[in-house]
Amino acid sequence: MASATGIAGLEPRIQSLGGRLLARVDRELKAAGGGWLDVLVRRAIQDPEFRVQALRFVDVLPTLQDDAELVAHLKEYFADTALPWPAVSDWSLRHSDAPWAVPIAAPLVRATLRGLSRRFMGGRDTRQALGTISRLQHNGMAYTLDLLGEAVLSEREADRYQQACIALLQDLARAAGPAAQRPHVSLKLSSLYSQIHPADPDGSVAAIAARLRPILAVARELGAAVTFDMEQYAFRHIVMQCFMTVLLEPEFRDWPDAGIVIQTYLKEAADDLQTLLAWADRRATPVQLRIVRGAYWDYETVIARQHGWDAPVWEEKAQTDASFESCLELLMSRSGSVAVAVASHNVRSLACAMALAESRGFSAEDFEFQMLYGMADELKLALVEMGYRLRVYVPFGETLHGMAYLVRRLLENSSGQSILDSGLGQASLEKPRPSAAREVARPPGSFSNQPVHRFVRAEERTAFAAALRAARERLGEDYPLVIGGEPVTGAGWITSSNPARPAEVIGRVARADRSLADQALVAAREAAPGWSRLPAHERAAWLRKIAAALLRQRDRFAAWEVLEAGKNWTEADADVCEAIDFLNYYAVQAERLAAPQVVESSGEHNRCDYRPRGVGLVIAPWNFPLAILTGMLSATIVTGNTAIVKPSSLTPVIGAHFMQLLREAGLPPGVVNYLPGDGKAVGEYLAASPRINIIAFTGSRAVGTRLLGVGAQLQPGQTHVKRVIAEMGGKNAIIVDADADLDDAVPGVLQSAFGYQGQKCSAASRVIVVGGLYAVFVERLVEAAQSLTVGDPQQPGNFMGPVIDAVAYARIRKVIEAGRQRAQLLGGDAGRLPRAGHYLAPQIFTGVTPQDPLAQEEIFGPVLAVLPADDFEEALAIANGTAYALTGGVYSRYPEHLVRAREAFHVGNLYLNRGITGALVSRQPFGGFRLSGTGSKAGGPDTLLQFMDTVCVTENTLRRGFAPESRDKRE
């Protein structure tokens, strides 16, 4: 960390400057006293449960226009917790059922929220913000304004943010008299492009820069300064690239009034700083670098854990503190090419900056401190008194839009990362001492999901693009059938083409006929005895070996999915990861189920074991061409059965590559036989065969129900009942409750309805909006849907690709045309779809009745029906009113409605306050009931049971009155 001549050598001076700062703060604190807000914050620090409820309540509060609704929420959130509000609110809470309680409690709570907003936000509009600025100026402080807004979900919203920033700069310049300060604004770049995506930095930067340049031009003309805020880690590389690109352009290259932020809680902070310093040297005109700790620590940590990624942020506060100091030292040693802004509420950090500035001969004019509005006001006054320059970061905007900011501030104030935690005593001056890094080892035999690519690292993106190029080199190859471990020529060919470029042949795959199907049956039968005799752990080892091989080639497989199935980068990668998960997870489950279940009774030994059933027929769909095929196949073989795999004729090349991988892994011949072919001619023929024991099918309701019938027919010579597992379609609904957060609900619905062009069995095809939110929801949804990028999925910036083939395209078009006769179609594709390829833009229907085919039949394309409901119960009734029961979702911040949904929303997979697609193996065992499936789940603890028979052996161990100890116990 700091060298001897740096911070380490300055320690005595840091202590003495810090001591002086603390003495002044102490004086200010005594003068200020504590208000009721401090009581609230203190309670939140001490009581984590209260903190969670309070933050959630604050989050929902501004959407509650109706007083009775507000009090109902208050009661739900704090039913079991005493409130720190003045006694009256507690009292009214207890009496909240009484009509007279509402007019008392609601205004009180609203006043509390206004108090909170006033504390951390500088006003609701520019006029109020100007008032705040002039009060700050009066206290000797400068400002930077941050315009808070709703999440930018559409290009129109991005345009509005751009215009609002320009208007703000102009208002500030107009308000500035001769003595006033120059305008200073902090920008959120993610708000300048609704389709910003980590995998597509170039496209994102181009789109952001187009809206950014006019803002910077106005700023420059008005003599204003602009800082680019840093936001989530996922966008950090885009913000940096945008900053370094635009400010090197001739128009801005010699403009000194731009700045950017370094978040020192990031493990890569020092590298970022070096990059920016080297860039600033090249540019020659200084920029401002604002060094901060970072405001999204909780978010980054949770998101990383959820996805199994390494956290990008330091896990311990002391590590962040140490990182802050080393970055500060580097920054202040290089202040020639950059202006330095030290943004912190941490006394030691401030003292370090003072000591470094002093030792480098800076005057107080050469750098500035920055602090947040409403935070550590005593420190602000102390710094000004000591003669330092201080800029206050002032967010302003509508209370509703400020909630995310407000919750972050409250969280910061009440979780272990802040000034309030380190306190303002002498201890706050202690040097940070990070503890040594700990490696947490995963217990052997446990399962964890394969993390998907985050695409924030250049290496990840370059490798993926290279895999796509390599796959393209192999377009048009021929692939054989595989029977008994041997490549076999088919009775003809299935030609697979790229749905994004229909003239492009992905490959030709040999097509089986009935006689080849018979050969496959013989091969699978012959391999069955040897394979079934292997101990479970050996078969599990095969699955793990295959999973490891697939992991090594994950980008190669994902590239084929982009080309053959039309998936975008993220969807393709996720499908490969899910395939890896199925292999690893079923390996663990097979080992678990291998342990016998023994029940001892006096003189009696009972032991249950699972046995393979024989030969499994795996019939897979095209929409998750690797994951579902691998899932059904691995469940079949890990339980000791052998398999015949019939892939969809639309994605047989991906299956063929997987077969090659199995052969390279050395799987014994005949255990898996690959038999692409016509569904009816080959699939149904095999399904009817008396030599098939299990049919594992995933696909449409029509075929699934037909196979249930075929499987039930006894054939001559058949001596067993077939087990038919049929996972079928859905007509999935998301309910958006009256108090939902649209910043979450709109993107959640979009992703669920239009991700992979709506071609997921789990996709949302109905959204039911409760109460008065309908109009605003529809407006934002349609605008956001129209902003989604549609095009060749080889380009990482395209969210939607083509639908799978010309047949699907024509079918969906027909549904849309028929739907237009009965309902209103909003939006459209005009002019933005590529000419070749089976592209459809998102289609949103309103005015749809619950019984309309648009709301009843699976469409399997990017078509969404929006339906209104008067209340939550009606919404539930509509949601449940179809023949399907696969997935469903609810966006609500009313706890009682979430409870109600758990018990009365009839679907196999219910998602609360998130999108409804993307189930993960083990975490969300997947599958539906009613006409969505036979009720079993894929990727769950019970899945493998369906692939086996249970055998129970009972032995009478009593001989002439003597019963020995249990055999299994002795083993």
Beta-strand pair 909-912/887-891? parallel
User: Which member of 422, 648, 789, 856 binds ligand NAD (CB under 6 A)?
Assistant: 648
Q: Please report the beta strands in 264-405, taking only residues with DSSP state E, as ranges in sequence order.
A: 287-292, 338-343, 367-372, 390-396
For 83, other C-beta atoms within 10 Å of its C-beta total 22
- Nearest-approach distance from CB 651 to ligand NAD, in angstroms: 9
Distance CA 263, CA 245 (A): 20
- Residue range at the interface with ligand NAD (CB under 6 A); choices 462-470, 575-583, 677-685, 715-723: 677-685
CA distances from 203 to 193, 196, 796, 797 (A): 10, 8, 9, 6
8 Å CB contact between 353 and 264: no
Q: Please report the beta strands in 316-457, taking only residues with DSSP state E, as ranges in sequence order.
A: 338-343, 367-372, 390-396
8 Å CB contact between 126 and 209: no
Which residues, numbered 709-748, are part of the site for ligand NAD (CB under 6 A)? 727-730
Which residues, numbered 233-292, are part of the site for ligand NAD (CB under 6 A)? none
Distance CA 853, CA 872 (A): 23
Phi-psi region of 946 (alpha: psi -120 to 50; beta: other; left: phi over 0): alpha
Nearer to ligand NAD (CB atom), residue 232 or residue 700: 700
Cα angle: 217, vertex 220, 225; to 5 degrees: 120
Nearer to ligand NAD (CB atom), residue 77 or residue 905: 905
> Which one, of 752, 692, 742, lies nearest residue 720 by Cα?
692
> Which one, of 821, 827, 814, lies nearest residue 857 by Cα?
814
Site membership for ligand NAD, residue 863 (CB under 6 A): no
User: Which member of 153, 619, 865, 879 binds ligand NAD (CB under 6 A)?
Assistant: 619
The enclosing H or E element of 285 equals none
Site membership for ligand NAD, residue 676 (CB under 6 A): no
- Residue range at the interface with ligand NAD (CB under 6 A); choices 75-83, 289-297, 792-800, 926-934: 926-934
**Number of amino acids touching ligand NAD (CB under 6 A):** 33
For 968, other C-beta atoms within 10 Å of its C-beta total 13
Amino acid at 136: L
β-bridge partners, 843 = 863
Task: Name the catalytic one among 300, 564, 727, 858.
Answer: 727
User: Which member of 112, 194, 418, 623 binds ligand NAD (CB under 6 A)?
Assistant: 623
Distance CA 676, CA 510 (A): 7
Active site residue 352: no
Distance CA 748, CA 744 (A): 6
Nearer to ligand NAD (CB atom), residue 610 or residue 697: 697
Distance CA 276, CA 652 (A): 48
Based on the number of CB atoms within 10 Å of its own CB, is 230 exposed (0-12), middle (13-18) or buried (19 or more)? buried
Nearer to ligand NAD (CB atom), residue 39 or residue 806: 806
Which residues, numbered 299-328, are part of the site for ligand NAD (CB under 6 A)? none
Site membership for ligand NAD, residue 616 (CB under 6 A): no
Amino acid at 518: D
Site membership for ligand NAD, residue 374 (CB under 6 A): no
- Nearest-approach distance from CB 561 to ligand NAD, in angstroms: 14
Site membership for ligand NAD, residue 944 (CB under 6 A): no
CA distances from 363 to 304, 356, 389 (A): 42, 11, 10
Nearer to ligand NAD (CB atom), residue 761 or residue 764: 761
Site membership for ligand NAD, residue 698 (CB under 6 A): yes
β-bridge partners, 866 = 767
- Residue range at the interface with ligand NAD (CB under 6 A); choices 22-30, 301-309, 331-339, 698-706: 698-706
Task: Name the catalytic one among 165, 242, 352, 761.
Answer: 761
Site membership for ligand NAD, residue 564 (CB under 6 A): no
Active site residue 761: yes
User: Which member of 259, 621, 640, 837 binds ligand NAD (CB under 6 A)?
Assistant: 621
Site membership for ligand NAD, residue 811 (CB under 6 A): no
Binding mask 411-450 for ligand NAD (x = CB under 6 A): ----------------------------------------
Nearer to ligand NAD (CB atom), residue 730 or residue 915: 730
User: Which member of 92, 349, 370, 649 binds ligand NAD (CB under 6 A)?
Assistant: 649
Query: Which 8-state DSSP code applies to residue 428?
Result: G
Nearer to ligand NAD (CB atom), residue 241 or residue 700: 700
User: Which member of 490, 699, 796, 918 binds ligand NAD (CB under 6 A)?
Assistant: 699
Query: Which residues form the catalytic set?
Result: 727, 761
The residues binding ligand NAD (CB under 6 A) are: 619-624, 628, 646, 648-649, 679-680, 683-684, 687, 698-700, 703, 706-707, 727-730, 761, 858, 860, 886, 927-928, 932-933
